[in-house]
Amino acid sequence: MIRNAAACAVLAAAAAGADEAPEAPGAIEAAQAQDAPAASADLAEVLERRLPDVNVTSVEASPIPGFLVVEIEGGVMLHVTEDGSYAIAGVLYALTDQGPVDPFKARWAARRLALLADVPADQMIVFAPAGETRAVLNVFTDPDCGFCRKLHAEVPELNSYGIEVRYLAFPRMGIGSETYDRLVSAWCAEDPQDAITDLKLGRKIPSKSCQNPVAEHYEMGKVVGVEGTPTMVTADGELIAGYVPAAQLAQGLGLK
């Protein structure tokens, strides 16, 4: 799921940076006894000491007894014991009679929509259908990504189903990379649609510079949950990671 890799990476990086991890149960018990169970108001302080490179943005109740939900900078969520001794990274599922349910799915959807609502349409590269717009796909894209190119080739088909494609920039190699520079040039081009199309056909475009949203898109993508490209966000906040054929996207959006 969308948060697994990011959450696990945070904990793995912290573990790799530790001078020496406790090796015996007695050492772990001693560490727990040293701090004693911390109230939820104190958990951020405990984590600041134990995970010094992690910035905690919120701590709240968890559906799991004895745990708290900790959100850290970048939108990564961890489930942490109340005393700050253990953390679980990954998606939490409630096992109901109707099947597994992600209790945080609605929260993430609402957050994605709130972030995207702050992005004006003129800061995206938009491919709109000729007729009625029946659905919208916000697509975080990288012109050097093979599957982004494959999806872009199907934009006319998506438009034929009434799907508007709104591109946001996500240079996978980061800000300042060659891909970043190419995306800036596309956003600054006289005709951004033609420019992004040329890039996805492997063509060179004139180097351009202007006030642009590429860096903002990239940073927002990391908060939204983008871990690769293409990544799409639907009008109801659902995140779709990876390439999906146009016909299948249309079917999933109830248009076919």
The percent of residues above 70 in pLDDT, for the chain, comes to 84
This prediction has a pTM of 0.77
pLDDT band at 9 (very low <50, low <70, confident <90, very high): low
**Measured distance between the N- and C-terminal CA atoms of the chain, rounded to whole angstroms:** 26
Q: Which residues lie across from 137 on neighbouring strands?
A: 165, 234
What pLDDT is recorded for position 25? 39
Listed by start position, the domains of the chain span 4-95, 111-252
Query: Are the beta carbons of 219 and 140 closer than 8 angstroms?
Result: no
What is d(CA 25, CA 28) in angstroms, rounded to the nearest whole number?
A: 5
Instruction: Name 237's Cβ contacts closer than 8 Å, sequence gap at least 6.
Output: 108, 109, 110, 111, 112, 113
What pLDDT is recorded for position 36? 38
Q: Quick one: 4-95 is in which CATH superfamily?
A: Disulphide bond isomerase, DsbC/G, N-terminal (3.10.450.70)
More confident residue, 6 or 56: 56
Percentages of the chain per state (helix, strand, coil), in multiples of 5: 40, 20, 40
Both tokens of residue 100? 């597994």
Q: Which residues lie across from 4 on neighbouring strands?
A: none
Whether residue 60 has pLDDT greater than 90:
no
Nearest to 242 by CA among 146, 158, 159, 173: 146
Tell me the average pLDDT across 170-182: 97
pLDDT band at 41 (very low <50, low <70, confident <90, very high): low
The CATH topology of domain 111-252 is: Glutaredoxin (3.40.30)
pLDDT tens digits, one per residue of 81-90? 998 889 998 8
